[in-house]
Homo-oligomer: A and B are copies of this chain.
């Protein structure tokens, strides 16, 4: 009785669901400390104390009728949006004001809002494999067609020659995600400049507008002093989707924002459409208390050193065991080459050692697996002997 689209979704989602249930089953048998669940991107670093302090202060000082009420605009509180804009301007030398910011129910909410605003049935949305599998569902929600650029498994920078060939008159949007889930790779400034030039050229060629959607939940999670270019400065038709899920460890609270710059084609109408989309998709507005929280915490940072220690320990440990993997510069994922041709069999083998990892097929990149290292340091350390057993199985 459920819709045909959902029939497919439900069937496809059962693999991850099965993994989750398997994790619970294993934890019951062996104890949770003996199960190494690297499957989910759920931060293990607590939200900074500033979050709790901000909530307490807001509850003391604000009128509850206003604080918990609908916001005047579906885009969110004017003061919050202005503060977000000014914070971005200070960090990146941009020129945003409140009107350019739409507060959203996380980045996932933001991406749905901007795709709803932009996509006609049959419009094409380009994504670079490996990519977060939900992009396909989000695009399909609006009857768009996801077009893949195949993975460059040398350094996981996007394949720009193939990208150029994939752009057609129907290309309405391109999604990039840097620092990247699942590889941890940061797209270099040189990559971004070339990508922008290609899109400019294709816009002229087809007489179209192609929007670059930058999905940035991992922007603040970078290591070794790497810089993440701010994309609105390189390409006019850029929309940024941000989330505080990882930077403030608030994934469950569903708070983020979209940036729609004045330079984007049809900017005013697009901002208005994002506003209306926020309403009619049922978000209505981003949760109001959390809007006020992020305003109070704009200068807070999560404890990167925690993830960095995990990153180095796991990366070095796996390399020593003979696994192949690109060293991530951001996010909290390792994307490891499967020692078996079929990475699903490798994941199944790993599970025998109580290690739960996600097959690359979920990110349109078979032959690899994703390891989410946003877990406790103990989990990392204790997993290494298990990975050693696993390496032996494959004669690494």
Q: Which residues of chain A have a CB within 8 Å of any CB of chain B? A: 1-6, 9-10, 13, 20, 40, 42-47, 51-52, 55-56, 59, 63-65, 67-72, 105-106, 108-113, 116-120, 123, 134, 137-138, 141-143, 209, 211, 249-254, 265-266, 269-270, 272-273, 276-277, 279-290
Q: Are A252 and B42 neighbours in the complex by a CB distance under 8 Å?
A: no
CB contacts (< 8 Å) of A56 on chain B: these are: 56, 59
Q: Are B10 and A254 neighbours in the complex by a CB distance under 8 Å?
A: no
A284 to B251, CA, bound (A): 9
Q: Are B109 and A252 neighbours in the complex by a CB distance under 8 Å?
A: no
Q: Are B276 and A3 neighbours in the complex by a CB distance under 8 Å?
A: no
Copy number of this protein in the oligomer?
Answer: 2
Chain B: which residue is nearest A290 at the CB level? B287
Q: Are B284 and A2 neighbours in the complex by a CB distance under 8 Å?
A: no
A69 to B44, CA, bound (A): 9
Known contacts A1-B266, A10-B273, A69-B43; A112 and B282 CB within 8 A of each other: yes
Chain B: which residue is nearest A137 at the CB level? B280
Chain B: which residue is nearest A292 at the CB level? B252
Cβ-neighbour of A72 out of B20, B47, B272 (below 8 A): B20
Q: Is the interface of A mostly helix, strand, loop or mixed?
A: helix
Cβ-neighbour of A43 out of B9, B65, B250 (below 8 A): B65
Taking the nearest CB of chain B, how far is it from the CB of A165, in angstroms? 24
CB contacts (< 8 Å) of A276 on chain B: these are: 6, 9-10, 13
Known contacts A4-B120, A137-B280; A47 and B68 CB within 8 A of each other: yes
Sample of 7 further A-B pairs with CB below 8 A, known A137-B279, A287-B290: A1-B209, A6-B277, A10-B273, A69-B251, A116-B141, A251-B284, A282-B283
Taking the nearest CB of chain B, how far is it from the CB of A396, in angstroms? 33
Known contacts A1-B209, A69-B251, A287-B287; A64 and B46 CB within 8 A of each other: yes
Taking the nearest CB of chain B, how far is it from the CB of A321, in angstroms? 29
Known contacts A3-B119, A252-B68, A252-B287; A141 and B280 CB within 8 A of each other: yes
Known contacts A285-B252, A285-B254; A65 and B52 CB within 8 A of each other: no
Interface centre among A251, A281, A286 (most CB of B within 10 A): A281
Cβ-neighbour of A6 out of B55, B108, B116, B285 (below 8 A): B116
A-B contact pairs, 30 of them (CB 8 A): A1-B265, A1-B270, A3-B118, A3-B119, A3-B142, A3-B273, A6-B116, A6-B277, A9-B277, A9-B280, A40-B70, A43-B65, A44-B65, A45-B65, A51-B64, A52-B64, A56-B56, A67-B252, A105-B105, A108-B279, A110-B282, A116-B141, A134-B279, A252-B287, A253-B288, A254-B283, A254-B287, A281-B281, A289-B289, A289-B290
Cβ-neighbour of A111 out of B6, B209, B270, B282 (below 8 A): B282
Taking the nearest CB of chain B, how far is it from the CB of A332, in angstroms? 14
Q: Are A249 and B52 neighbours in the complex by a CB distance under 8 Å?
A: no
A283 to B255, CA, bound (A): 10
Taking the nearest CB of chain B, how far is it from the CB of A7, in angstroms? 8
Known contacts A120-B3, A290-B287; A105 and B52 CB within 8 A of each other: no
Taking the nearest CB of chain B, how far is it from the CB of A3, in angstroms? 5
CB contacts (< 8 Å) of A59 on chain B: these are: 52, 55-56
Q: Are A283 and B105 neighbours in the complex by a CB distance under 8 Å?
A: yes
Q: Are A251 and B68 neighbours in the complex by a CB distance under 8 Å?
A: yes
Q: Are A55 and B52 neighbours in the complex by a CB distance under 8 Å?
A: no
Taking the nearest CB of chain B, how far is it from the CB of A260, in angstroms? 11
A272 to B64, CA, bound (A): 35
CB contacts (< 8 Å) of A288 on chain B: these are: 252-253
Chain B: which residue is nearest A113 at the CB level? B282
Taking the nearest CB of chain B, how far is it from the CB of A239, in angstroms? 12
